[in-house]
Structure 1
Amino acid sequence: MSLGALLESIPPLAVYVVVGVVIGAESLGIPLPGEIVLVSAALLSSRHSLDISPAGVGAAATLGAVIGDSIGYSIGHRFGMSLFERLGKRFPKHFGPGHVALAKGLFTRWGVWAVFFGRFVALLRIFAGPLAGALRMRYLRFLAANASGGLVWAGGTTAVVYYAGIAAERWLSRFSWIALVVAVVIGVGFTILVRERTSQLIAELEAEHDWDTLRGRVQE
């Protein structure tokens, strides 16, 4: 089976469900590649041979972001900052004291804007919902920032990739699958760069504060 035939066999509903579930789970606090999934789905929607709607992709991503963040907010509100201490012990690479201290510092400095712009930053995409709840941010303010940020991120990313995919298909014609590979590689590269930058910021925090101080900041 050729790649084109394989892509055409994918039901559009399955694409929307995967986009919504992955982004929702990432927003809930599970470290999944939501951005790569969104970029890939948006690129698939640019192929006219497939019955995948860019509006459907954007809507699924927005709903996943809003619902996932809202569930994460409820969990964080219920368990407080102690939630991150427990998660840090089980998943130190994603919820270590340095990660939490950095995210909390950004929330303390930017407030509700950290929720809005957090949708564009891998670290805050995972922390935004649970951390906002744990810090007792008012839910209506959180929801407004979360929904608007999710809409701009999902809609903007889908639109840019969709039109880029159309342009690529015109130029590459029979080799339009190359654009999908390039998009995924770019998405992976961007994710790695963001994680490296996050690690650098965490290392700087650790150099300035010992672990006991960081744990104290997490529990405050």
Structure 2
Amino acid sequence: MTVDSMLESIPPLAVYLVVGLIIGIESLGVPLPGEIALVSAALLASRHTLDIDPLWVGGSATIGAIIGDSIGYSIGRRFGMGLFERLGTRFPKHFGPGHVALAKQLFARWGVWAVFFGRFIALLRIFAGPLAGALHMRYRYFLAANASGALCWAGGTTAVVYYLGLAAEKWLSRFSWIALVVAIVIGIGVTMLLKERTRHLIAQLEEEHDWETLRQPPA
């Protein structure tokens, strides 16, 4: 069985459900590759031999993001900041004190805009819902920022990747599946770069905290 025939055997409904589920779970606070799933589905939609609708891809991603963030908001509202302390002890690479401190700093600086732009930033995409709830952000403001951010992120990403995929298929008509592999590799690379950038910001924040502690006069 060739790669093309394998791709053609994938039911469109399964693609929509998987995209919505992965992005929804990621929005709950679970570190899953939501962006890679969305990019891959949008590229599949650009294949004229497949019956995958880009509108449904973007729609499922948007719905998954809104529902996932809303559930995350409810969980954060229910358990408060203690939730992140418990998660930090179990998953220090994703919910360590530095990650929480950086996310709180971004929320303090941007306010409700942190929810909107958080959809485009790997760290805030995981923290936005639960942290907004833990900080008791008003839900109507959260929902407005959450929905608009999800729509812009999912719709914009799907549209850009879809039309790039159409252009790529023109040049890679015999090996168009290569574009899917390249997109996944690029997505992984971007994710790793963002994680490295996050580690750098966390280290910088910890250094500033240590410096402020040293400057404080002894009690």
TM-score (norm 2): 0.95
Task: State the AA in 2 paired with 1:15.
Answer: V
- Residue of structure 1 in register with 2:216 after alignment: none
Gap runs ≥5 in structure 2? 214-219
Separation of aligned partners in 1, 2:158 and 2:147: 16
Percentage of pairs with the same residue = 79
Question: What displacement does 1:107 show?
Answer: 0.2
> CA offsets, 1:178-215, max 9 Å, x none?
111111111111111100000000111122225xx8xx
Gap runs ≥5 in structure 1? 214-220
Separation of aligned partners in 2, 1:208 and 1:162: 43
2:160 aligned with 1:160, yes or no?
yes
Rg comparison, structure with higher value:
2
Moved over 3 A (4+): none
- Residue of structure 2 in register with 1:103 after alignment: 103
- Residue of structure 2 in register with 1:218 after alignment: none
Question: What displacement does 1:171 show?
Answer: 1.1
> CA offsets, 1:129-176, max 9 Å, x none?
000000000000000000000000000000000000000001111111
- Residue of structure 1 in register with 2:81 after alignment: 81
2:176 aligned with 1:147, yes or no?
no
Task: State the AA in 1 paired with 2:199.
Answer: S
> CA offsets, 1:93-136, max 9 Å, x none?
00000000000000011000000000000000000000000000
Alignment of 1:110-125 (within 5 A): 110-125=110-125
Separation of aligned partners in 1, 2:208 and 2:104: 16
TM-score (norm 1): 0.95
Task: State the AA in 2 paired with 1:131.
Answer: L
- How many residue pairs get matched? 211
Task: State the AA in 2 paired with 1:79.
Answer: F
- Residue of structure 1 in register with 2:217 after alignment: none
CA root-mean-square deviation: 0.8
